[in-house]
């Protein structure tokens, strides 16, 4: 009997910690004490507004790991909360009357942080309302980061999606456009986009798991 | 001498036959006190085993797997990290995939040529990370394909990695 009680006790301990919230568990003892009240307040605000909290928890952990002073750390987390709010407004506008999954909001916030114009993010959301938006948002953000015209880049991705390229395959479209541009020969971004558009839907899939840059996935 | 042999023969006749192993184990049990069964289920032992199991589970869940066992699941992918850090004593990757914890994913430079590398199975999706060189210098991966301002006001950028699920490759 004693054994059973102890086993039950051991099994309950993690559950007790988790009951305080995953964010609290991850942050416990990891952020400067002077930043704790403000961070707690920001996370509580996110919870109250039904916004995802994980990006804020990660930002707090990141700042702490980097030794960022408490005031700047709090500002970084606050900035993250502002981005999530903006993202939620955008998701609500793109998908009116529909639920706003936390994953959608977090993905849009991440794309906006990478410099994707809000209007393009909205187009990516409306392009595929029944799919996770992250791949399309990343593909668009990739193209914009590589200085393609945002509207033209979005046009290409919408065309690719209409021709059956969904999800992660949209990242291949962005990679193909970048590779076309890298070929040189006086090729402009518009030329590169046109060439990729002409090859749709037969955009090559990366053949190897590791790209020349040493990263998987794109 | 004959008397001792006679005594031994009598003893063998009256004592039930036991193997050497049985006799050794009986002596071990006599010396060590409680039987192994009773000792296994003492409270401290259970607590120790419980904690060990919890620690093992945490290690499995939190520490990215090493290149020796790269078998991603359906919603995971393999990420490789490569950096050129000649003269560095240590290089590690710290990012959102390991809760920005230090000491979990180290790069290696077996050839001592300054090319450091590591591979890990990570959850599919977007991850932000930086290299930490020699335990103190935070470095943006110069070979990354994506970057994002880290938001702390010093103009420092995280590298962005998008891991595709292995099941979709």
Distance from CA of A3 to the nearest CA of B (A): 7
In this complex, the residue of A65, A68, A214 whose CB is nearest that of residue B80 is A214
> C-alpha angle with apex A140: A136 to A141, nearest 5 degrees?
115
- Residue in B closest to A169 by C-alpha: B168
Q: What ipTM does this complex have?
A: 0.81
B154 CB contacts (<8 Å, ≥6 apart)?
A72
Q: How confident is the model at residue A157 (pLDDT cuts 50, 70, 90)?
A: very high
Distance from CA of A72 to the nearest CA of B (A): 6
Tens-place pLDDT, residues B40-49: 456 666 666 6
Neighbours of B126 (CB within 10 A): 24
Residue A189, pLDDT above cutoff 50: yes
Assign A10 to helix, strand or coil. helix
Distance from CA of A144 to the nearest CA of B (A): 11
Measured between beta carbons, the chain B residues lying within 8 angstroms of A28 are none
User: pTM higher than 0.80 for the full model?
Assistant: no
Q: Where are the domains of chain B?
A: 2-168
In this complex, the residue of A6, A113, A213 whose CB is nearest that of residue B143 is A213
Q: Between residues B34 and A199, which one has the greater pLDDT?
A: A199
Tens-place pLDDT, residues B15-46: 444 454 555 455 555 555 544 444 545 666 66
Q: How would DSSP label each residue in B44-76?
A: HHHHHHHHHHHHHHHHHHHSPPPGGG----TTE
Contact: A217, B43; criterion CB under 8 Å:
no
* pLDDT at position B64: 54
- Distance (Å, whole) CA B49 – CA B37: 15
E strand or H helix that includes residue A153: helix A150-162
Tens-place pLDDT, residues B97-131: 999 999 999 999 999 999 999 999 999 999 999 99
Under CATH, what is the fold of the domain B2-168? Immunoglobulin-like (2.60.40)
Among A1, A65, A81, A108, pick the best mutation site for testing chain B contact (most B Cβ within 10 A): A65
């Amino acid at each position: 009997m004693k054994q059973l009680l102890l086993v039950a006790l051991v099994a309950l301990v993690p559950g007790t910690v988790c009951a305080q919230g995953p964010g609290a568990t991850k942050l416990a003892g990891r952020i400067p004490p002077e930043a704790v009240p403000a961070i707690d307040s920001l996370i509580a605000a996110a919870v109250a507004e039904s916004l995802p909290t994980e990006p804020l928890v990660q930002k707090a952990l990141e700042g702490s790991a980097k030794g960022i002073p408490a005031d700047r750390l709090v500002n970084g987390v606050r900035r993250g909360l502002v981005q999530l709010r903006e993202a939620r407004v955008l998701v609500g506008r793109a998908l009116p009357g529909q639920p706003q999954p936390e994953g959608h909001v977090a993905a849009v916030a991440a794309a906006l942080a990478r410099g994707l114009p809000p209007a393009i993010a909205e187009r990516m959301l409306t392009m595929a309302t029944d799919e996770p938006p992250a791949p399309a948002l990343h593909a668009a953000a990739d193209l914009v980061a590589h200085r393609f015209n945002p509207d033209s880049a979005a046009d290409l991705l919408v065309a690719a999606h209409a021709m059956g390229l969904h999800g992660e395959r949209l990242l291949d479209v962005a990679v193909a456009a970048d590779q076309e541009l890298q070929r040189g020969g006086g090729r402009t971004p518009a030329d590169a986009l046109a060439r990729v558009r002409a090859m749709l839907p037969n955009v090559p899939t990366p053949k190897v798991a590791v790209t020349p840059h040493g990263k998987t996935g794109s | 001498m004959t008397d001792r042999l006679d005594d031994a023969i009598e003893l063998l006749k009256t004592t039930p036959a036991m193997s050497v192993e049985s006799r050794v184990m009986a002596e071990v049990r006599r010396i060590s006190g409680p039987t192994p069964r009773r000792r296994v289920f003492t409270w401290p032992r259970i607590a120790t085993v419980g904690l060990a199991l919890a620690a093992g589970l945490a290690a499995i869940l939190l520490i990215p797997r090493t290149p020796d066992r790269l078998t991603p699941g359906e919603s995971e992918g393999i990420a490789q990290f490569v950096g050129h850090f000649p003269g560095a004593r240590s290089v590690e990757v710290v990012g959102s995939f390991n809760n920005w914890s230090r000491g979990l994913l180290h790069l290696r430079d077996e050839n001592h040529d300054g090319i450091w590398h590591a591979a890990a199975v990570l959850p599919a999706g977007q991850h932000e990370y930086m290299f930490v060189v020699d335990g103190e210098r935070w470095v943006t991966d110069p070979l990354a394909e994506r970057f994002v301002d880290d938001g702390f006001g010093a103009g420092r950028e995280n590298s962005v990695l998008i891991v595709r699920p292995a099941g979709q490759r």
